[in-house]
A and B are shown apart, each in its own frame.
Chain A
Amino acid sequence: MFMILGYPAPLMFGQLLLGLINGAFYALLSLGLAVIFGMLNIVNFAHGAFFMLGAFVAWGLLEFLGVNYWFALLLAPVIVGIFGILLEKTLISRLYKLDHLYGLLLTFGMALIIEGLARNQFGSSGMPYRIPAILQGATNVGFMFLPNYRAWVVVASAIMCLVTWLIIEKTSIGATLRAATENAPLVQAFGINVPRMITLTYAGGVALAAFAGVLAAPIYSVNPNMGANFIITVFAVVVIGGMGSILGSIVTGFGLGIVEGLTKVFYPQGSATVIFVVMVIVLLVRPAGLFGKAA
């Protein structure tokens, strides 16, 4: 058998792929958190709940309305994003003048309520969501069989990250967003409706989480805990990348997914904790995170 560093190649590539897939979700989720944190100065603890809602909306669209995966991939983020707008307008926007801590408590509470309601309604066991027909099966890429859907998840997530990054760094809307992150009152005094921009930014971040949720639906079963399972690791990713850094969240998300995957090959016992070990080291060496600007 073909070996790499003394390990069988298929095992190596298999774990690398699993790592990339997890990394794709880390990247999408931490990107949304970074966008929201930059603009609203709120650590959105409800992010995992919106991820879960994305999967549930996709499931519901298929189950009750017969809306297929591809339309769900567009519709679920919009629907969950609108829900985010309602929450921002009615609840979160009341906290901007207060300490960070209140935003954290509020969004944490929102997550508990949303996840609790979902558990009440659907139980904890989860519902299956079928992989869309054209992405079923696997492709022989020579050194391994690559499941088509998993490859798609990595590609779709990478594209979505890239598009988000391009919008923020290269467009005039993105420039306005960056400026408002630096000095919102002045941007508003130039005639820009900053409160509306904040609301839409929250919706955008939430929509990214929901998009990730739809991508995740066929891989993990659609269940009320799927967001909570992810979100702890995602917060570690955010801390490592640097709070609020757009590029940092993308690179760190994919990078740490891979690190986690490789750890499963070389030291399986450590795979559940490796990200947190990295977090401790980064906090010791660079408290602002790998891509963060020191305050």
Chain B
Amino acid sequence: MPDDAMLKVRGLNSWYGESHILHGVDFDVRAGEVVTLLGRNGAGKTTTMKSIMGLVPKRQGSVMFNGAETVEMRSDTIARAGIALCPEERGIFSSLSVTENLMLPPVIAPGGLDLDTIYKLFPNLKERAGSQGTKLSGGEQQMLAIARILRTGAKLLLLDEPTEGLAPVIVQQIGRTIREIKQRGFTVLLVEQNFRFAATVADRHYVMEHGRVIDMIENDQLAANMDKLHDYLGV
């Protein structure tokens, strides 16, 4: 791996209380890339995202972001360094309106999308601006969860299963969004169960199993590695 990686994860270990979940995760994400973490349920993909974001109770190893070690930092400091998370459970706040949810994360650097652009990408959010956040449909909530972190100017976006349980049209819309933000220079680490979807947006794929990264496949090698991948993911 080249040394110019934007995110460099080495020997990452994480624990929830007594349970040791990540056992030395290694991978890199270069600036401008879309990289996925694939793996079966419970492989540790979400835990990896949370560990990068500083949201697990205990972690060890190294997470270098733009050349700075973040593994000891508090989550708000990590966010201010330029990483933003769209969590698996979406994290839409029920006591906040759609607009309040959208405006909640503070702008931490220039270069985020402005509201006009966000509303162009997600017209529904404008129409439902005053609704309670959790009154939106699942797809709209997912759009809100993604839109929310596009505003902030964070350059590395962690998207945890943004297509989970959504209708095909919405999955396509999210795919378009990811390609669009890649074009605008954002870097994306994406967790996906659906590697067919992942193949339409990503440059590379890491495969996780039992709290480790066990393989890396370039997107253009995906077809050639189908058997292996089926084996890894048990599909």
Q: Is the CB of B74 within 8 A of A188?
A: yes
Q: Is the CB of A189 within 8 A of B93?
A: no
Q: Does A120 contact B (CB under 8 A)?
A: no
Q: Is the CB of B79 within 8 A of A183?
A: no
Name the contact of B87 in the complex, choosing from A182, A186, A194 (C-beta under 8 A): A186
Q: Does A128 contact B (CB under 8 A)?
A: no
B100 surroundings in chain A (CB, below 8 A): 172, 175, 179
Q: Is the CB of A178 within 8 A of B95?
A: yes
Q: Does A185 contact B (CB under 8 A)?
A: yes
Q: Does A142 contact B (CB under 8 A)?
A: no
Name the contact of B96 in the complex, choosing from A179, A185, A192 (C-beta under 8 A): A179
A190 surroundings in chain B (CB, below 8 A): 76, 79, 84, 104-106, 149, 152
Name the contact of A191 in the complex, choosing from B79, B95, B101 (C-beta under 8 A): B79
Q: How many residues of B contact A (CB 8 A)?
A: 26
The dominant DSSP class at the A interface is helix
A140 surroundings in chain B (CB, below 8 A): none
If A189-B75, A194-B76 touch, whether A183 touches B91 (CB-CB below 8 Å) is yes
A188 to B79, CA, bound (A): 8
If A176-B104, A179-B104 touch, whether A189 touches B76 (CB-CB below 8 Å) is yes
Interface residues on chain A, size class: 10 to 19
**6 more A-B contacts (CB under 8 A) besides A191-B105, A192-B76?**
A172-B103, A175-B100, A179-B100, A185-B55, A189-B76, A190-B105
Which B residues contact A (CB, under 8 angstroms)? 53-55, 74-76, 78-80, 84-85, 87, 91, 93-96, 100-101, 103-106, 108, 149, 152
Q: List the 5 shortest-distance A-B pairs measured between CB atoms, nearest first.
A: A191-B79, A190-B105, A175-B100, A189-B75, A178-B95
Q: What are 18 A-B residue pairs whose CB atoms fall within 8 Å in the complex?
A: A178-B93, A179-B93, A179-B100, A182-B95, A183-B91, A183-B93, A185-B55, A186-B91, A188-B75, A188-B79, A189-B53, A189-B54, A189-B79, A190-B105, A190-B149, A191-B106, A191-B152, A192-B105
